[in-house]
Amino acid sequence: MSNKVKNTALRAGTITAGTALMLLMSSPAFALTRDDGDDPGPGLSVIQTLGLYVVTPIVLFLIIAGLVVMTDKSRKQVKSKG
């Protein structure tokens, strides 16, 4: 194996191992244990969840895109000399 292939394989293995370690460390192993001050509120309904995570980002995107298109000065038409 060439030195470049070994370095690439070592880098890929390191990244894979690091990612796996981070995923294992963030697993909800202790999620059943309540923390002090932990006071979860009522859950969201399906409509509320869709509104919060689907509709709101789409509406914000459309508003920002509309503002960009309206304020774009390069789209202004140049009057032709007739």
DSSP line for 9-73? HHHHHHHHHHHHHHHHHTS-TTTTSPPTT----PPPPHHHHHIIIIIHHHHHHHHHHHHHHHT-G
Over residues 37-58, the pLDDT tens digits come to 777 889 999 999 999 999 999 9
CA distance 38 to 73: 51
Check if the beta carbon of residue 62 is closer than 8 Å to that of residue 68: no
Average pLDDT of span 52-72? 94
Q: What is the model's pTM? A: 0.48
- Does residue 10 register a pLDDT over 80? yes
SS3 for 6?
helix
- Contact partners, residue 69, CB within 8 Å, separation at least 6: 75
User: Do the Cβ atoms of 16 and 24 come closer than 8 Å?
Assistant: no
